[in-house]
Amino acid sequence: MLFSSNEFKVLKTKYWDLHQDWEVSIPGFLVLAPNRKGVKSIADFTDEELEEFGILLRKIRQGMQEVLGIKEVYFFQNEDSGHFHLWIFPRFDWMERFGRKIESVRPIIEYAKKNMATEEVKNQVKEYVIKMREWISF
């Protein structure tokens, strides 16, 4: 594992957990997941979860843009994974060679797993987590 549990946590609220994806060493690759078990779809959110989800999502995206300088992201979620997770996948210039469609994500992830598990990238991931933690604190 690339991180310890505290290194990849950005924020935990009453309803949500925001953290760096710890399996893939791409700085700014964030995951937003509900704390409540059994949530598979946005349709399963309570009104309170939905309200905080929207506020958090806007704040996360603003922070990624303003603090981390990430101009574009892909949001993706699949309902067949057993538990709701929203992946917030940053797009960096180095990713252009893989294309710009959703199909490019898998090769990018595989490349990152094989080539980016370095101390330098780990330090950048930590830096991004700290910056987002400070930005998003409620």
Q: What is the mean pLDDT of residues 93-102?
A: 94
The pLDDT value recorded for residue 1 is 39
**Nearest-5° angle of CA 92, CA 111, CA 80?**
90
The pLDDT value recorded for residue 2 is 47
The model carries a pTM of 0.91
Q: What is the mean pLDDT of residues 90-109?
A: 94
Reported as a single tens digit per residue, the pLDDT across 5-55 is 567 899 999 999 999 998 898 999 999 999 999 999 999 999 999 999 999
The pLDDT value recorded for residue 137 is 77
The pLDDT value recorded for residue 72 is 96
Reported as a single tens digit per residue, the pLDDT across 51-76 is 999 999 999 999 999 999 999 999 99
Query: What DSSP string describes 60-102?
Result: HHHHHHHTS---EEEEE--TTSSS--EEEEEE-GGGGGG-SSG
Question: What is the pairing mode between strands 30-34 and 16-20?
Answer: antiparallel
Taking only Cα atoms into account, the Rg of the chain, rounded to an integer number of angstroms, comes to 15
Q: What is the mean pLDDT of residues 91-115?
A: 94
CA distance 98 to 71: 17
CATH topology of domain 5-136: HIT family, subunit A (3.30.428)
Q: What is the mean pLDDT of residues 87-95?
A: 96
Of all residues in the chain, the percent with pLDDT exceeding 70 is 95
Domains of the chain, by residue range, sit at 5-136
H/E element, 133: helix 119-136
Q: What is the mean pLDDT of residues 125-131?
A: 95
Residue 2 to residues 6, 39, 72, 96, 133, Cα–Cα distance (Å): 12, 27, 25, 25, 19
